[in-house]
Amino acid sequence: MLAKRVLSSISFLLPGSQSAQYRNPDFTKSQLPKQTITLACVDLGQLSAAGIKGIILDLDNTIVSEDDRYLSPGAEAWIQQAKQQGFRFFVLSNGKRQYRVDAWRQRLDVPILSPAKKPFPKSFRRALMQMELAPHQVVVIGDSRHTDVLGAWLVGCSCIQVTTLPHPPRWWEKLCGRLVQIPYPPEQELWDMNGQPARYPNH
């Protein structure tokens, strides 16, 4: 069954695909965006109006670059604001550096599962179970189509893809990065780890 769903989702990985919208029957009503620039650009009022009660977040290159050089502007304040409004959180990371995961678990004060082995559904279902929410009540927010967006689709959650923070590209990203990630706009504000304006790479 899982294999059939993965095969049927191949077109969903391509830029401009509309498949994700029709996985959630409430998508037309909610009008949640498929993509946005940064986490802080996500409208919490819009999420609430759509019936969203929980948020599954990616860590690397969504909140912080995987080389710990850049922070997504306003991301931590956005998470705190969302908590105050009653949203439940769970972070799923494919990262394997446990000391780093532990540090961010403490810093964000949210549960983190790592390595999550996204896009396989097991970790997403665990997050849903811990948040005690149904898939239609949860949105997944991350930077990668092949892990975050596909994983959300496989379990029936809505998903918003953000641009990927600048980071050293791996070999597969050099080959097909733009197919699975949206480059961070050079003109967009960028922060260092202290929350100060940072210089975009090669600028």
Question: Is the sign of the CA dihedral 142, 116, 75, 187 positive or negative?
Answer: negative
What is the full per-residue pLDDT of the chain (203 aa) written as tens digits? 444 444 344 344 433 333 333 344 444 435 799 999 999 999 999 999 999 999 999 999 999 999 999 999 999 999 999 999 999 999 999 998 999 999 999 999 999 999 999 999 999 999 999 999 999 999 999 999 999 999 999 999 999 999 999 998 776 666 776 778 999 999 999 999 999 999 888 75
Cis peptide leading into residue 166 (ω within 30°):
no
Q: List the chain domain ranges.
A: 2-14+22-130+138-165
Determine the pLDDT at residue 171: 66
Determine the pLDDT at residue 30: 52
Helix (H, G, I), strand (E, B) or coil at 57: strand
Distances (CA, A) of 123 to 52, 186, 201: 19, 33, 33
Q: Would you identify the CATH topology of the domain 2-14+22-130+138-165? A: Rossmann fold (3.40.50)
Question: Is the sign of the CA dihedral 156, 180, 66, 68 positive or negative?
Answer: negative
Determine the pLDDT at residue 11: 40
Other CB atoms within a 10 A radius of the CB of residue 146 amount to 15
pTM of the model: 0.84
